[in-house]
Amino acid sequence: MSAPPRSAGPDHDALIGTLLRLVRSESTSTRASLTERTGLGRTIVTQRVNELIETGLLTEAGRGKSTGGRAPREVRFRREAACVIGVEVGASGLEVALTDLAGCPLGFHEQPWDVTRGPEATLDQVDSIIGRLRAAHQPPAVPLVGIGVGLPGPVEFATGTPVAPPIMPGWDGYPVRDRLASRHEVGVWVDNDVNVMALGELRAGTASGVRDFLYVKVGTGIGAGLVSGGRLHRGTGGCAGDIGHITVAHGTSLPCRCGKRGCLEALAGGAALARDALAHAENGSSPYLAALLGDQRPALTASDVAAGARSGDHTCVDLLRTAGERIGRTLAGLISFFNPSLVVIGGGVALSGDLLLASVRQSVYALSLPLATRSLRVEMSALSSHAGMIGAAFTAIDELLTPRQLTTWTHRLAPDSLPPAAATA
């Protein structure tokens, strides 16, 4: 039950990885179907399948369809043999999911949280949520084997530390990975929030099975995650997708929180919408926003603009349409450059109504090259606000299931006597 895979050479590992991927993706697998799919000899496939059964990652699962003789035995991935945690730290909220090894949520928790409270307080809070989730949703015998984390700023993926994140005072260089790893004694992987969300959409959302796509988050800030050939493209310094600070209005005086002027985010992000909403409430051009402000609200938000647009306030409609047009104009250039087959739009502002998506689409199709938009879809995120925590869980799962990682944790898997239903209930 607890023997690690026997060798660690690339030849052996490649087959272990291939078999794991096949069994995870197929509804039913037998040694014969795997032999056929890999094109390899029956002996070597049986050997490696048995190794994976010994480690506890696969198990025998009854009989498949007979093709004449005795029905072959099926094998299946033991998704219930361990669990992982996905953490999404937002600018103003925390989301934590407990999932099985297939990324299926067993339980989750979300709450408001101010990221400016710093890493110590935030990670203490995450520790306590993890404890409660495990106590409530997980059979005691099922081990936690990994944690994935998304942070709202640039992260050096190799070390799991934030790098000069603009909206996270106190987090610059803080060893987020090491802090969580030593507390929970499991593998921890930390990435920026849009990469994590893109991975969530790739593994379990709108982009399932898509090879080249962009995930665009329109929240307080604006950012993108890039997938090239089915893999996250993180870029050289891990900051690929930082589209919020592309200069879109040369010569404008609008300052951005990054210190430059005329950035996309300063014109079309959630914070920009909130700023413009306040101005329109104060000068009376939006009756809806003026009334909200009159109710003793200290400030307005992008959600207020979305609600105003839904109620028919013309200024709110204009604000969202203009923001969508500016985002779409920038995306049009990036689409000509990257030629994705799908753009997934997510984030709080985008999810607050259909108007922004419609406006983004209009600009994208008007301004991208015909060849680049020939088979392009622009869709709302299917995972909605959960893309982050689900994607964070997959950030850990994808790394855990690489052959070189298997030896480090599979000895801890729960024994096979556990019925699958108990863990996935």
Q: Contact positions toward a second copy, by CB under 8 A?
A: 7-12, 14-15, 18, 38-41, 44, 154, 163-164, 211-212, 224, 226, 228-229, 231, 233-243, 245-247, 250, 258, 260, 329-330, 332-334, 336-341, 367, 369-372, 374-376
Of 243 and 357, which has the nearer Cβ to a second copy? 243
Q: How far is the CB of 54 from a second copy (least distance, A)?
A: 19
Q: How far is the CB of 277 from a second copy (least distance, A)?
A: 25
Q: How far is the CB of 247 from a second copy (least distance, A)?
A: 5
Q: How far is the CB of 148 from a second copy (least distance, A)?
A: 20
Q: How far is the CB of 23 from a second copy (least distance, A)?
A: 15
Rounded to the nearest angstrom, the gap between the alpha carbon of residue 94 and the centroid of all alpha carbons in its chain is 14
Distances (CA, A) of 410 to 1, 83, 247: 9, 12, 48
3-state secondary structure of 187: strand
Q: How far is the CB of 254 from a second copy (least distance, A)?
A: 15
Cα–Cα distance for residue pair 158/177, rounded to 1 Å: 10
**Contacts of residue 149, Cβ cutoff 8 Å, sequence gap at least 6:** 86, 87, 88, 89, 160, 176, 177, 180, 188, 189, 190, 191, 196, 392, 395
198: amino acid identity, one letter: A
Cα–Cα distance for residue pair 11/6, rounded to 1 Å: 12
Of 115 and 222, which has the nearer Cβ to a second copy? 222
What is the dihedral sign for C-alpha 389, 390, 393, 394? negative
Of 231 and 314, which has the nearer Cβ to a second copy? 231
Q: How far is the CB of 371 from a second copy (least distance, A)?
A: 5
Closest CA to 238 of 158, 148, 151: 158
Q: How many CA atoms lie within 13 A of 91 on its CB side?
A: 14
Of 16 and 387, which has the nearer Cβ to a second copy? 16
Of 140 and 229, which has the nearer Cβ to a second copy? 229
Of 311 and 375, which has the nearer Cβ to a second copy? 375
Q: How far is the CB of 363 from a second copy (least distance, A)?
A: 10
Cα–Cα distance for residue pair 89/171, rounded to 1 Å: 12
Of 113 and 338, which has the nearer Cβ to a second copy? 338
Of 264 and 414, which has the nearer Cβ to a second copy? 264
Of 6 and 117, which has the nearer Cβ to a second copy? 6
Regarding beta strands 58-63 and 73-77, do their DSSP bridges make them parallel or antiparallel, or are they unpaired?
antiparallel
**Contacts of residue 368, Cβ cutoff 8 Å, sequence gap at least 6:** 331, 332, 335, 336, 376
Cα–Cα distance for residue pair 65/73, rounded to 1 Å: 9
Q: How far is the CB of 368 from a second copy (least distance, A)?
A: 9
Helix axis angle, 31-38 relative to 42-55, nearest 10°? 120
